[in-house]
Chains A and B, each alone.
Chain A
Amino acid sequence: MGRVVITGAGTVNPLGQNVPDTLAGFREGRCGIGPLDIRDAHRLRISVAGQVQGWTPEAHFDAKDLGLYDRVTQFTLWAAAEAVAQSGLVFDGALAEQSGVILGNSGGGLSTIDDNYRTVYEQGKDKVHPFVVPRLMNSAGVSHISMIHGLLGPSFTVSSACASSNHAMGLAFHMVRSGMAPVMVTGGAEAMLCFGGLKAWEGLRVMSPDACRPFSATRSGMVQGEGAGIFVFEDCDHARARGAEILAEVAGFAMAADAHSIVMPSREGAVRVMARALQDAGLPPEVIGYVNAHGTGTLANDRTECAALHDVFGPHINHVPVSSTKSMHGHLIGGTGAVELLACIMALRDGVIAPTIGFERADPDCNLDVVPNTAREARVDVAMSNAFAFGGLNAAIILKRV
């Protein structure tokens, strides 16, 4: 089997609208969460979110194209442009024939759905814009990337709630590793911050009224974010032959189901997926120098994840920094694993571990080195990123320094 490396990265998220600004945010421990500013926000109990501020799609896209792009697609395409540009790849000939796009998201074009439900239900109109369907499709972003960059290979969208983008990246990894595709564009995106989207989350009673404080005794639930993270996964020999800059190697991946609950996490399930990812990478737990936790800031996730980390790593967990960057950018649901992979790349390349901000007081049930509030310099050779989705669909990915 071949080796797989990352040769391009792009993002739009509450910390920045490109990778350098985002990594600067991680290093500074900047908080991208603030007062929620959407239509009818006064009718929500949720009052904070990780919104992408100052987003100007008209500056990035032609007006004619923009009519076809939901907010989630806008984030996806802008991040993909950054990633493909960094890779330096031009897709033509056999490369274009074999390379494809696999992305994850959970809500698709939810703002488009929300806006048009208002049109027909609230305003009582009997006509909607002709592009509602092409805007709301979960797979719209994949299709537009394939069209813009001329990718003709395997392309589709994966949807597995909060693990969507980790699952997508895992499949892309498998395709490149097996030799099926020399290059895959992969990652994920989400843009659920609209009235209907947040009202649904409010109903679950897991949202924080003020901030995302993962692993802190004072945590009060999750905060939702939005954005995209897109990467270019490339066959290592292919990348080396063309002298590409390599950001990291994708060393291992695993996916597994809890078969337990539609909302509650499972300690055994989390252990299973982390252990299998290590096995896939052929690495012992001791080599992991950083874990980007799922770390949602809910009681259930944080305690379960902590217990599972202790099971997998044993006493060694006391020497492994574990942070949740959701404290800074919020939970990007189907896109979250992709943005969080950037923190793993930063740890490997720059030797800087992103902190868990908002940390106030240790919870005895979350006994971990959570890199509280301030980024830390450390040499990291291998990093792992966890995603544990509602419904028990888990995916863990392992990156290695090159």
Chain B
Amino acid sequence: MNDISKTVIAILAEQAMLDPAEVDGSMTIEALGLDSLALVEAIFAIEERFDISIPFNSAEPGAAGFDISSVDSIIAAVKGLMAQEAA
């Protein structure tokens, strides 16, 4: 597991009040037990940690290309955004 994955998992785990070891890549937001406030906080923490800007709106979660359907999809979306910012 690379650093980006580890960091995203750590952030999501902190919001879900879980041990990072308990977080599996296939878990959904609901499975993590994140409510809308926790999700917004996690997204903010990811933005701050990686210095990226994530297109996310609670009114249409998952729109604008940022896939929040699972932990893995969030990691993939963060990697995609970082590659875009680097390009």
Contacts and interface: CB of A to CB of B under 8 A. Distances in A.
B59 A221 contact: yes
A300 interface: yes
A264 interface: yes
Interface stretch (B13-21, B32-40, B70-78): B32-40
B22 interface: no
Nearest to A263: B37
Contacts of A264: 35-37
Grouping DSSP codes into helix (H, G, I), strand (E, B) and loop, the A interface class, with mixed when no group exceeds half, is loop
Contact of B57 (A220, A261, A263, A300): A220
Interface in B36-87: 36-37, 40, 43-44, 56-61, 63
Interface size class of chain A, counting residues whose CB lies under 8 Å from the partner chain = 10 to 19
Contacts of B36: 263-264, 300
Contacts of A132: none
A204 interface: yes
Contacts, number: 43
A221 B37 contact: no
A35 interface: no
Grouping DSSP codes into helix (H, G, I), strand (E, B) and loop, the B interface class, with mixed when no group exceeds half, is loop
Interface in A181-227: 203-209, 219-222
A208 B59 contact: yes
B44 A206 contact: no
A297 interface: yes
A262 B40 CA distance: 14
A90 B67 CA distance: 61
A205 B57 contact: yes
Nearest to A203: B44
A299 interface: yes
Contacts of B59: 206, 208, 219-222, 297-299
Contacts of A204: 40, 58
A300 B58 contact: yes
Nearest to A221: B59
A261 B35 CA distance: 11
A203 B54 CA distance: 12
B56 A221 contact: no
Given A205-B58, A221-B60, 10 more contacts: A205-B56, A220-B60, A220-B63, A262-B37, A297-B59, A298-B59, A299-B58, A299-B59, A299-B60, A299-B61
Interface of B: 35-37, 40, 43-44, 56-61, 63
10 interchain residue pairs of minimum CB distance: A221-B59, A206-B58, A205-B58, A205-B40, A220-B59, A298-B59, A299-B59, A220-B60, A221-B57, A205-B56
12 contacts: A203-B44, A205-B40, A205-B57, A206-B59, A208-B59, A220-B59, A220-B60, A220-B63, A261-B37, A263-B37, A299-B58, A300-B58
